[in-house]
Structure 1
Amino acid sequence: MAATKKAEIKVTGMACAACSAAVERSLSNLNGVASAAVNLSAETASIEYDPERLQLVDLEKAIRDAGYDVVDDEVVLKIGGMSCAMCVAALEAALLKLDGVAEARVNLASEKAYVIYNPRLVGLADMKRAVTDAGYQFLGLAGEEGSADREKEARQKDLAEKKRRIIIGFAASLLLMALMYLPLHQVIPMTYHMALPDIMGLIMLALSAPVFVYVSLPIFRAAARSLSHRILDMDVMYGMGIGVAYLSSILGTFGVVLTPDFMFYETAVMLATFLTLGRYLEARAKGRTSEAIVKLVGLQPRKAVILKDGREKEIYAEEIMVGDMLLVRPGDKIPADGLVEQGESYVDESMITGESIPVLKKPGSFAVGGTLNKNGSLQIRATRVGKDTALARIISLVETAQGSRPAVQRIADRAVSYSSP
């Protein structure tokens, strides 16, 4: 057997020695497990396995197949710098390489990575390192205080940088094209006419070199990142295209292999600029998508007032439990779904139904979390909280819809990898 790895998994549901023996037997039956020992009192399974044959998810599946459960944590990471489906694949692969990560799903539209992991084997610092080593930005945890601001700041900085590259690229392209069509033979003495092509080539090289490097650097970085992960994607094709165009221009300028007829300085710069423009428009569209989700999240109130033993108590909305009595005053947002037990008031439900006319709520009426109480106080018995509320489910559906890929797109992504030379 090749070099083995050790994993320690938290197991729940074991009640006796027979339970621990069943877990051990299920793990030992896997082809690739060298040893498996279960500690009943600590509720842990220590496994030594061959990583070339098995992954952590296989070990956890064996435990679940035996009738027991595995305690895993889930975290949602905010990621920056992704541009295509290949970036998603590269980032998922980088996260899955970490010992202890059972599942990693990356959503390109919302720029989030959903990671299920074993906290005994891997931590947030390891995930952050994996993201940055893969060439992407780690923007913190989704829902973390200030993460939305950091994400917005990083997006605005990226858009400003792309816009600057586009302006400089187009300005330089127009200048280079103008030089090609200027009647320089009329202003340059006859003595230098024979050397005019060489002079023009050197002038265009001097003018285009700094601009080309500045505009195309992100494209070449993305291509290098893809190649480092052994992925042939559009970034590689773009980099090869503009790189070959500029290299042939240099060779043509100095007459090495090619003639001056092969000078395409303005073409290389223009192509790099158009590619950057495409990335700029894509980043703007993704930013608007993220902002739409942020606005939906913003509809959720952060705090709530509950009535307990006849007293009012202010708590965070995340702490609301099913059955709590909520006190909603005029002008407050309803913090959770529930049934009105006392009071009457008009509630603005336009964020759910689109109807601008407020709806009267009275005892027995159902109130939706996130809607705005208008004119009277309500006492509402919470029936759905947290991720089960209507608003939370709408947010989840929007994120799922934006991040889903149809089958035809997966076929197209696969075709791109084959079409790269």
Structure 2
Amino acid sequence: MEIAQLHQLFLEHPTVCTDTRKIEKDCIFFALKGENFNGNSYAAEALKKGAALAVIDEPEYATSDRCLLVENTLETLQKLATFHRKHSQAKVIALTGSNGKTTTKELINAVLSKKYRTIATKGNLNNHIGVPLTLLSIQHDTELAVVEMGANHLKEIDFLCRLAQPDFGYVTNFGKAHLEGFGSKEGIIRGKSELYDYLTAHDKSVFINADDGVQIEKLKSYIKKYGFSSKNHEYYPITLVDADPFVKLKAEETVIASQLIGSYNFTNCAAAVLIGKYFNVALSDIKSAIENYVPSNNRSQIIEKNGHRIILDAYNANPTSMKAALDNFDQMKGTNKTAFLGDMFELGPTADEEHQKIADLVSSLGLKQVFLIGENFKGTDTSIEKFKTFDLLREHLKENPLKEDSLVLVKGSRGMALERILDLL
């Protein structure tokens, strides 16, 4: 089937599903494959549950005239998404970076939706499947689409750019994330810069943090760049006012008091201000959007529980974000400061070195208590309390509960699921 024909069917049934547990009536089911499943085998179930059509790539599963047989289901999904994006009126703003992508995406969407009809990546569905699904959520009246792009190896952002064909883009930062796939900090810079490479090659506009030397160097001769800075008056001036615990920033004469903790969230807010200004959103509306944004999903949340004030930042972790969280925690005012730090994943051969650096950093801070959790932290050379498993930590806390009125930081990679600590406090 030609993509143009499939697109006509999509316009009649403008909802796509890839999971039979989430089938919506009259959707199109795409039978994707994974290491441990074959979506083709679920096509009949999808139709029975209310899907209008099922796109499959194995002929033996074509049990109905509502099954559309294609050569490769994933590639068809991706081609359909690009076709739909090209035939929409929406402008696409792409976003990538090592840290802060999802928060920045949410802030940008909150700001732009004050004036425009927008759509944005749901959650962190930012890979070779998530980006197409986001593009296919563009409506006929969508004006701006904010598309988050994630990557853990070279050429991935380049591929996602060719799918989404962005008109604008922003890289949050170049931190030590996914070192296992990128190989080095230089590899990370090359990989994330593929967004800027695409935009400059197609004469599109880029947004930058002009206080980031890497971004300035990468784009020093490019004209269509728009940046914010707290130092360089050639760019839109935005300054950090305070971050104890919530970020306050100043743009022009307006102070914006966010509900985001940590100075590391300053640039995330500043990017949303800059992009809002570029698209002529009133500064009063920008202020309202940022001040009313509340983080969720274990991202920099502040939780009060049993007399403790807990900073829950357990959605993910890498050496850069871990250091930023600890530096910020060290500067915060509070009593009985206690940190629960979990292993950082996807660091490849640098894992031992990077975990030791964090352990050394923690030893230099004046925290009351620190608990290191996971196999990687267990292997560090430090006198800090270490627990190879979460269960061992649980047993320890049963016998040695935290002192009342503690200020607590919880930080670790997603696989550590450290939000479980809330049940122990």
More helix by share: 1
Q: Which has the larger radius of gyration?
A: 1
Query: After TM superposition, is the score higher than 0.5?
Result: no
| TM-score normalised by L of structure 2 | 0.31
